């Protein structure tokens, strides 16, 4: 797989693997050995960028990722995150310097490594100055425990403040054909500052694949049950974008997922999407999107076909929405 450069010269595969869904968010955790097999298969087909967090589980995901990648640790880039009380999002945010240090030490053990390649603040903590957060990560970088600093779902002004203290290598936020808000302020800011962009949910939490419709039922532990965009009415209303993607994909002989990922790759050379899955067949399909090249005309056709579609429903319930873009 081709490589891309995020901020500060951090080189990764053009697509990374978002590992969250293996243990959190989309129903019961994947069997441990199956999860390890999937992560190792990703490495076999060229993925060198793996995304985890203490909050995924909590803790379970880092343990699985660490065990899976241990045989080839020096050939991959591992990202993880701090920022929630006890690693549990519903308990609130905690980016105090002492917490960042404690989480880092614990994550190093779970990930079976002596350094974290990319350490993200999972969400901006309104109670801790971002300069203190960036300064703590800067110290961890100087100590050799962390290599690069990242932020997640942060607003442009906060990114600038953090970047002035410790250069930010990557921002991770949602971005896809059905969530394009980052184009307004975030992407121009990242381009100006030389920060890479790591879009999560590049397939719209599965919706853009065409596998979800108004009749789909989710496991009771699947967080899409509380996402307004995934209400039955909104799933029905949003089928238009899936149909448009299907027409474009059929004409090119690829899948909707591959079109959606290829579109992201075509936006900027420093964008590295991290699609996640629990199935090896879907993994291989998603990663093959790195080889799908969209022409200028095809990108224009996609823009013309989708530009006028208004996606129905908020992407987060209100309590989660209040934590992003700060």
pLDDT at 28: 93
**Is 56 noted as a catalytic residue in this protein?**
yes
pLDDT of residue 305: 92
247 contact partners, CB below 8 Å, separation of at least 6: 305
- Residue 41's nearest CA partner among 62, 72, 10, 5 is 72
pLDDT in tens, the chain (326 residues): 999 999 999 999 999 999 999 999 999 999 999 999 999 999 999 999 999 999 999 999 999 999 999 999 999 999 999 999 999 999 999 999 999 999 999 999 999 999 999 999 999 999 999 999 999 999 999 999 999 999 999 999 999 999 999 999 999 999 999 999 999 999 999 999 999 999 999 999 999 999 999 999 999 999 999 999 999 999 999 999 999 999 999 999 999 999 999 999 999 999 999 999 999 999 999 999 999 999 999 999 999 999 889 999 999 998 889 899 89
Kindly list the domain boundaries of the chain, sorted by start residue.
3-204+267-292
The per-residue pLDDT for 307 is: 86
> What local confidence, expressed as pLDDT, does residue 102 receive?
98
Q: Quickly list DSSP for 98-114.
A: HHHHHHHHHHHHHTTSS
In angstroms, rounded to a whole number, what is the distance separating the alpha carbons of residues 228 and 222? 13
Question: Which residue matches tokens 């397939």?
Answer: 203
Task: Give me the catalytic one of 56, 120, 148, 175.
Answer: 56
Of 38, 46, 45, nearest in space to 3 by CA: 46
Residue 308 is predicted with a pLDDT of 87
Q: Find, among 134, 123, 136, 143, the residue nearest to 82 by Cα.
A: 123
Task: Tell me how far apart the alpha carbons of residues 220 and 211 are, in angstroms, rounded to a whole number.
Answer: 18
Structure tokens at 72: 């080839």
Q: pTM here?
A: 0.97
Q: Specify the 3-state DSSP secondary structure of 77.
A: strand
Q: 3-204+267-292, what's its fold?
A: TIM Barrel (3.20.20)
């Amino acid at each position: 797989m081709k490589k891309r450069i995020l901020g500060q010269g951090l080189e990764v595969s053009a697509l990374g693997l978002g590992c969250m869904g293996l243990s959190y968010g989309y129903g019961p955790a994947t069997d441990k050995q199956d999860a390890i097999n999937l992560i190792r298969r990703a490495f076999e087909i060229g993925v060198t960028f793996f995304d985890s967090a203490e909050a995924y589980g909590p803790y379970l995901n880092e343990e699985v990722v660490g065990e899976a990648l241990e045989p080839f640790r020096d050939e991959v880039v591992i990202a993880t995150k701090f920022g929630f009380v006890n690693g549990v999002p519903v308990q609130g945010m905690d980016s105090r310097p002492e917490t960042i240090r404690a989480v880092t030490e614990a994550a190093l053990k779970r990930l079976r490594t002596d350094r974290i390649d990319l350490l993200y603040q999972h969400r901006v903590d309104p109670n801790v100055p971002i300069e203190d957060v960036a300064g703590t990560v800067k110290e961890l970088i100087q100590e050799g425990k962390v290599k690069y600093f990242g932020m997640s779902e942060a607003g442009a002004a906060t990114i600038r403040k953090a970047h002035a203290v410790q250069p930010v290598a990557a921002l991770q936020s949602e971005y896809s054909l059905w969530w394009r808000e980052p184009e307004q302020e975030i992407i121009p800011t990242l381009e100006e500052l030389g920060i890479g962009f790591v879009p999560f949910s590049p397939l719209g939490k599965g919706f853009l694949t065409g596998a979800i419709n108004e009749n789909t039922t989710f496991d009771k532990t699947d967080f899409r049950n509380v996402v307004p965009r995934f209400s039955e009415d909104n799933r029905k209303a949003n089928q238009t974008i899936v149909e448009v993607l299907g027409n474009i994909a059929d004409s090119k002989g690829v899948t909707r997922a591959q079109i959606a990922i290829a579109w992201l790759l075509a936006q900027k050379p420093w964008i590295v999407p991290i699609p996640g899955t629990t199935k090896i067949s879907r993994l291989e399909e998603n990663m093959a999107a790195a080889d799908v090249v969209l022409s200028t005309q095809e990108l224009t056709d996609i823009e013309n076909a989708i530009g006028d579609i208004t996606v129905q429903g908020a992407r987060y319930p209100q309590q989660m929405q209040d934590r992003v873009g700060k």
